[in-house]
Amino acid sequence: MGRGKIPIRRIENRTTRQVTFSKRRAGLLKKTHELSVLCDAQIGLIIFSNTGKMRQYCTEPLRMEQIIERYQKVTGTCIPEHDARREQIYGEIIMLRNETRRLQLSMQRYTGEDTSPLPYEDLDRLEQELESSINKVRDRKNELLHQQLDNLRRKERMLEEENSSMHAWIQENQAAIEYQQAAAMQAKVPFEHKQVVGQFPLYVEQPSSELQLAAIPPHIQSTYHLQLSQPNLQDYVSSLVPQD
């Protein structure tokens, strides 16, 4: 059973198309070499893939340029040596290089480098340009300083307004603050009295004698009726009182 014929048309599957191209390209190069050797033929073969890659074959010891030149002589065709588009691109590249070089020299002059070949007129013009640039820089600097000063003044006004509001609030609530302070002082005085009273072992009772009342501090006598609870001290006080 023989192989079926493959239709000669473009293979739609990309992978299959690439595999077929690689196989047939190798076969074509092999057949070209065999034809050149067996028949002593001068062959030049150039192949470009769909991705732009080039493969070529040339009969040794010739070069591809010799094959192409012979082809031109035989057919009478002439390939232009210089492409117009290429010449235009080269001209633009040269112009850009010259412009870049000129700008580099200008930058060196503005930094004070390589000014020896400049004549007086160019130096004077360069000085004027530098002074103009300095004035622009100073104007921009002053503008930024004014903006910062305005911001600081705005913040100052805001702080003054907050201070005024706080002062007004304190004035409005002064009575409440004084009342709280007075209440704190009143709460502190009984606490101090309790500390003084706690230093003596006392109990609340009517004094049994004037001597006992005289032994108590005056600021405590006005508030409390106290009597000493230590037996020894009472006996000592009783012994001092004259007996009838």
pLDDT score recorded for residue 234 = 53
Give me the pLDDT at residue 187, please: 76
pLDDT at position 214 is: 47
pLDDT at 151: 93
Helices assigned H by DSSP within 11-119: 14-39, 64-75, 84-110
- Give the model's pLDDT for residue 80: 60
pLDDT of residue 101: 82
Output the six-digit token pair for 2.
């023989």
Tokens of 123: 């130096």
In the chain, the N- to C-terminal Cα span, in Å, equals: 165
Query: Where is 227: in which H helix or E strand?
Result: strand 226-228
Model-wide pTM > 0.95: no
One-letter amino acid for residue 2 of the chain = G
pLDDT value for 210: 45
Looking at residue 154, what is its pLDDT? Answer: 92
Residue 101: Cβ-neighbour burial (10 angstroms; 0-12, 13-18, 19+): exposed
- At residue 84, the pLDDT reads 65
For residue 132, the SS3 value is helix
Residues of the chain whose pLDDT is less than 50?
A: 196-197, 200-216, 219-230, 244
pLDDT tens, position by position, 134-146: 899 999 999 999 9
Q: Is the peptide bond before 7 cis (omega within 30 degrees of 0)?
A: no
User: Residue 234: enclosing H or E segment and its boundaries?
Assistant: helix 231-240
By the 8 A CB rule, do 215 and 228 touch?
Answer: yes
194 SS3 class = helix
Q: Using the structure block, give the residue that is written with the tokens 């077929």.
A: 20
Q: Is 226 exposed, middle or buried (0-12, 13-18, 19+ CB in 10 A)?
A: buried
